[in-house]
Chains A and B, each alone.
Chain A
């Protein structure tokens, strides 16, 4: 076992982690621990853009952006946080440009902007061009640019280090324990501040736009410490995943003029959202698509999907603005988007919930108290700027604004705080976790359990949910947890034991799936990404509040999930019906 000491430890090198590192490493001794090489992080998969009211191509301002964010989030957004994000959005984009990000340009050479779902002028009057972009590779450019700046600034990375535990001393964060993939060795890092920036957990679902590695490790680690997770029932299903695969086709496809059609070739979104049509927020479009399929208007041999139509767009326009996603359609489905419609269906995309934080990125122990030294930013966190449904382009914004804020806050705290003494045998939990799995004599296959987990989540906790379906998911999860106790790890070695780590990751997925389902069961209303067929409307009287879930363990070691609630911060905007 090796020991290390840094003022600030950042877990994750996606957009949020590296943006935090650029701030923190300027101020104090910082290390970034990441299970992937930084440029492999899933931020690189983001396509469509990053919103900011630059007003480069038409009138716009940050207050309109705030309104759209709040309304898009079905009023579950904390409005103070949304104001911060939308106000700082302009500088966040300009900062990236100054770091070298190659945005597409207008005729005058300014950053170009385009339409994106849910973004409107003057509180819903009409759609507005607010998304700053680099073709359909915006996330790739953000990830590369931030990595390049980290090289310039000599940021210290520990690549392919899996953080598996958070160390706490007297209610303060005091370090982390990491597993080095190459050697199987454990490393104990003592730190004054720890920032989690470890991304989402889309792999609880089968059809997902998320990478294999998005297994919610950060949320799982915090959860096992008895710290809360907020609004976990809110998961976004993106309308346009490649049918059967889940690979994402950005909303930019519709921003650039793409149209969704059913088997009668009808532009069905005209019925569901007469004003903004195909550019309605994601939850509405995803449900509309699922409904077309349910009511027998789906396409294909099984009527299982709808079509995304780009055929009326100029091929040159497609090549300039949507080159990657049209290539995905060609590579994976053999469809030529110039002349053929593309089969699409909703795909699990984004976790609105996560580790609760305030607007400085400080993690919360409950509704009011911060955990000294602990921070979270990016998809792992819940500030909450996305409420019940995130608007497209607001996540790349979130990771930059709150990654930066968390980096500054963590470094400033580290400058005044001192190192806490680590708990006795700091590595104990991880040793037991890892060796328990490695030495297991069980016979259950990791992949079989994961596959059954994803099947029940897709079936029972997706776009449409009911009490019955969620209860079924809970029953299935109980059984899966029992099977997991018998999981077999075939690779017993030390070097690059990805078999072992897949088992560890599956453990996190099982925990988080249960939090999601339990939170969803108790939210007896429909709001944003959470739609209950048995409670089909929003209920502001009883549910205008965030869910706070806690893991509790009784004297006999039995685990239960306790739910509590947190008020929503409202400043300017009163809840209204969400019509588009």
Chain B
């Protein structure tokens, strides 16, 4: 079928302002939006620029705003987008656009790095593995699935209006360790998140949960971190 794809193009080497361009592409209903972008790049306009790698939703490269919602281009099928109408594609919001659908990811990764996203332990290392029950392992399973795609953070109205806010992903990243029974860094991590740009900025709008392509209950994770801060215990 013939599908119209409208893409917000921007190349600061050439123009000052972003502009919409519409392309006609022949696609299968089961094609992904990523296939549509590839067809445009490969057959019509080689200058169209976006990031991608795995093409099946595991590397986190291609979060973009598709029909006004943050999704992964490689995990969104054409048939699920009412393709009789124009499909719109634009970069995720709140991070500086560098070219077309490519945004500056550095502030996003900085926020992640800031929450100490690594196991903190003290004392002697055991000779074998640390023992952890499957129930304790399950406690933080949901947040281990994060692929750092930024769909959540860039769907958050608080993040849009205040670029200093850590954003939902960083809290997910912290949650993954705060609720890991092997970890001893909780106090420090909670202190970081107690910051004025930390968890308390969250307004519980659930945009992040809706956006997450891994099905992580992001808002719930944030609520759990807030509760841990209030009761200082996990």
Contacts and interface: CB of A to CB of B under 8 A. Distances in A.
Contacts of A225: none
Contact of A447 (B43, B113, B118, B128): B43
Contacts of A45: 54, 56, 58-59
B59 A493 contact: no
A336 B214 CA distance: 18
Contacts of A445: 42-43
Interface stretch (A81-89, A136-144, A284-292, A388-396): A136-144
B125 A104 contact: no
A151 B77 CA distance: 35
Interface string B33-60: 0000010011101110111111111111
A556 to B, nearest CB: 34
Contacts of B49: 491, 496-499
A28 interface: no
A489 interface: yes
A151 to B, nearest CB: 5
Interface in B144-191: 144-148, 177, 180, 182-183
B134 A104 contact: yes
Nearest to B127: A94
Interface string A100-120: 101111111111100000000
Given A37-B105, A445-B43, A490-B45, A110 B59 contact: no
A332 B118 contact: no
Contacts of B109: 37
Interface string B101-131: 0100100010001001111010001101111
Given A212-B52, A213-B53, A446-B46, A495 B13 contact: yes
B141 A491 contact: no
B144 A94 contact: no
Contact of A495 (B98, B117, B148, B177): B98
B147 A495 contact: no
Nearest to A184: B13
A371 to B, nearest CB: 30
B144 A109 contact: no
Contacts of B9: none
Contacts of B133: 105, 109
Nearest to A500: B46
Nearest to B121: A98
B147 A151 contact: no
A42 interface: yes
Contacts of A40: 51, 53-54, 59-61
A216 to B, nearest CB: 15
B98 A496 contact: yes
Contacts of A212: 52-55
Contact of A151 (B41, B46, B113): B113
B59 A44 contact: yes
Contacts of A560: none
Contact of B129 (A97, A141, A331, A488): A97
A495 B13 CA distance: 8
B132 interface: yes
B11 interface: yes
Interface residues on B, range: 35 or more
A41 B59 CA distance: 7
Contacts of A111: 129
Interface string A460-497: 00000000000000000000000000001111011111
A148 B119 contact: yes
B99 interface: yes
A211 B54 contact: yes
A152 B118 contact: yes
Nearest to A154: B113
B72 to A, nearest CB: 10
Contact of A499 (B41, B56, B118, B141): B41
A36 interface: yes
Contacts of B53: 36, 40, 42, 211-213
B56 A489 contact: no
- Secondary structure call for the B interface: loop
Contacts of B227: none
Of the four ranges (under 10, 10 to 19, 20 to 34, 35 or more), the interface on chain A belongs to 35 or more
Interface string A62-104: 0000000000000000000000000000000110011110111
A328 B57 CA distance: 9
A39 interface: yes
Given A211-B53, A213-B53, A328-B56, A39 B141 contact: no
A126 interface: no
A102 B141 contact: yes
A97 B118 contact: no
A9 B105 CA distance: 23
B81 to A, nearest CB: 14
Interface string A525-552: 0000000000000000000000000000
B68 interface: no
Which of A331, A489, A493: most chain B Cβ within 10 A? A331
Contacts of B144: 102, 134, 137, 141, 144
Interface in B63-109: 75, 77, 98-100, 102, 105, 109
A437 to B, nearest CB: 12
A544 to B, nearest CB: 37
A61 interface: no
A331 B60 contact: no
Interface in A21-49: 36-37, 39-42, 44-45
Contact of A446 (B42, B137, B147, B177): B42
B14 interface: yes
A102 B139 CA distance: 11
B54 A94 contact: no
A100 B180 contact: yes
A491 B49 CA distance: 10
Contact of A182 (B58, B98, B118): B98
A102 B42 contact: no
Nearest to B134: A105
B216 to A, nearest CB: 12
Contacts of A494: 13
Nearest to A112: B134
Given A94-B129, A495-B11, A151 B57 contact: no
Interface in A145-191: 148-149, 151-152, 182
A540 B73 CA distance: 49
Contacts of A144: 144, 146
Interface of A: 36-37, 39-42, 44-45, 93-94, 97-100, 102-112, 134, 137, 140-141, 144, 148-149, 151-152, 182, 211-213, 247, 324, 328, 331-334, 445-447, 488-491, 493-499
13 contacts: A37-B105, A41-B59, A44-B58, A100-B183, A104-B134, A107-B134, A141-B144, A152-B116, A213-B53, A328-B57, A490-B47, A493-B14, A498-B50
Closest 6 CB pairs of A and B: A100-B119, A490-B46, A447-B42, A109-B131, A499-B46, A148-B118
Interface of B: 11-14, 30, 38, 41-43, 45-47, 49-61, 75, 77, 98-100, 102, 105, 109, 113, 116-119, 121, 125-126, 128-134, 136-137, 140-141, 144-148, 177, 180, 182-183
Given A105-B134, A212-B52, 13 more contacts: A37-B61, A42-B54, A45-B59, A99-B118, A109-B133, A140-B145, A144-B144, A148-B118, A213-B53, A447-B43, A493-B13, A496-B49, A499-B47
